Structure 1
Amino acid sequence: MTEQQGVAVALPDDVAAMADVPADKGEVHLVHLYPREMSIYGDLGNTRCLAARLRWHGYTPVVHDHHPGARWPERADIILGGGGQDSGQVRVTDDLARHADRLRALAADGVPMLMICGMYQLLGEAFITVEGQRLPGLGILDVTTRGNATRMIGPVVLETSFGPVVGYENHSGSTVLGEGQESFGRVRHGQGNNGTDGTEGARTQHVIGSYLHGPILPANPGLADGLLALAARRATGEWVPGEVDDTLAHRAHQAQVRRLLRTAG
């Protein structure tokens, strides 16, 4: 199911048809923050990937698209957000501030979140513009980002607690982790947070921030199912995965790792 203007409706038939496993293990509610303003590099694909994989594993996905000014969904088992231009960030700032305490509470309560690029920055302590203006963030992740004239663009390979992760970065913000802040991963190829300290993204409890587009989840089924396990246990009390054929995803993933690390070597 998905939600349009606050009303839950069924997912398209093509999503449901991808699974032969009946969805009888319970509902898992996904909240996608600002899909119009903050999804310029295909990050909407992360939500679609999780919805499809839930079907394959035998769960019923309920997707809530949260737009600026809309009421907050009654239930959130996992929250996702994507990247956007500066103008997109400006358009969501007021609504994000309105729900700041709620998001902090959900993060503290263990709700898994995956925030990419612009939303990753907004969940940090602050974004400092090229002109020196300091824009406060939600403070869920102890990171500070500074805008600069140089963009960090290209494919990335990371080592993470979910295993190797591949993706594509395209950002001008340079992010520095606060003291004691865990990164999402260590860079094996690419620039990562700032191109100098070897870190990429940030992780606090079950909240992950990352610069990796692609979208990140279809090419990294281990990461996708790791997030779904957290969400499903929260929603239904247990994670009972189904039999999913990830042969093509693993081949694509491994091919990118081999190619990039061979080039780097």
Structure 2
Amino acid sequence: MAQYRIQPLTLTLGHLYPDQLNLYGDRGNILTLRRRCQLRGIELRVVGLGVGDALAPDEYDMLFIGGGQDKEQAPVAQDLYEMKGIGLWAAIEDDMPVLAVCGGFQLLAHYYRPAEGPDMRGLGVFDAWTEHKGAQVARCIGDIALRWNEQTLVGFENHGGRTYLGTARPLGKVLKGYGNNAEDQTEGAIYRNAYGTYLHGSLLPKNPHFADHLIELALQRKYGLQADEEPQVFNGDHASVASENGSTVLELQKTNVLPLLTPLEDSLEWEAHASILERLGLYSEAAAVLRTHKR
């Protein structure tokens, strides 16, 4: 019988501006990624990148940037453009998965025009721009659900800015809620493996499929792994494993002998997901979620 030596897979996540852009509890996204990796024997290292820190793309496998108030975004916008722009662009063009929420989403577009003060220049990763129409216009606040890859994403949005897409592809179509601008049913934006969105909640605890999507992208990029369409049973954590005949888990996964990510017990996560759909009156979508994931 083959003997295995376990060497855990490792991923490194760069958390941009953890002290400045931390308004809505979106650290929960990082906690979710770390936990879902841990349960599969994958080590997720998290490194904070603040104002003044350079971004060396070769040192990271994933990136996350959250949201904050306008007064906090101004110095961040300057630092992002002057200190981290080149490294972030290189990472995105090399297909590194990036999750940018709310203010982070706005700063990865062309510009953010606040209700008062000068425009904040963005990186232009997403062909989009954001304008705050002033205090006389109601904020976009409340639960939101959207269609993404034939599935649903749910969360909570709270933003005064209205984002408009040029050629950028939206993350999803709004089923209930406001989305980018409360006008065209678009939500978020996608460029390569970079995802911008207004969904708080935090987003990933209530959307385990999207969390796993980001982890899979990172593993595929770093190790060349591919997702198995029909996952098979593997009694052990995901890892780089050497066997007697020289085959490694990385090699076996590349040939679809093993799944990329083992399924987890996500009953509570999907019940929370379905409860938001029900709250929004999307009863058939909620029932479909529970049928699919309880099975």
Shorter-chain TM band:
0.7 to 0.9
Corresponding residue to 1:96 among 64, 74, 80: 80
The CA distance in 2 between the partners of 1:23 and 1:47, in whole Å, is 25
The CA distance in 1 between the partners of 2:119 and 2:79, in whole Å, is 19
Give 1:130 shift: 2.4
1:37–1:91 CA contact under 8 A, matched in 2: no
Corresponding residue to 2:158 among 170, 193, 196: 170
- Calculate percent identity across the aligned residue pairs: 37
Give 1:48 shift: 1.2
State how 1:65-214 maps to structure 2 within 5 Å: 65-72=48-55, 75-97=59-81, 98-131=83-116, 133-148=118-133, 149=135, 150-161=138-149, 163-178=151-166, 180-214=167-201
Would the alpha carbon gap of residues 119 and 23 (structure 1) be closer, same or farther in structure 2, given more than 3 Å must change? Answer: farther
Give 1:211 shift: 0.5
Corresponding residue to 1:27 among 2, 6, 10: 10
CA RMSD of aligned residues (A): 1.8
Q: Which ranges in structure 1 are unaligned for 5 or more consecutive residues?
A: 1-21
TM-score relative to the length of structure 2: 0.77
The CA distance in 2 between the partners of 1:93 and 1:122, in whole Å, is 6
TM-score relative to the length of structure 1: 0.86
2:95–2:192 CA contact under 8 A, matched in 1: yes
Moved over 6 A (4+): none
1:83–1:116 CA contact under 8 A, matched in 2: yes
Give 1:108 shift: 1.0
Give 1:94 shift: 3.0
The CA distance in 1 between the partners of 2:112 and 2:98, in whole Å, is 20
The CA distance in 1 between the partners of 2:204 and 2:74, in whole Å, is 26
The CA distance in 2 between the partners of 1:262 and 1:160, in whole Å, is 15
The CA distance in 2 between the partners of 1:211 and 1:122, in whole Å, is 12
Residue matched to 2:252:
none
The structure with the larger Rg is 2
Give 1:75 shift: 1.1
Residue matched to 1:256:
276
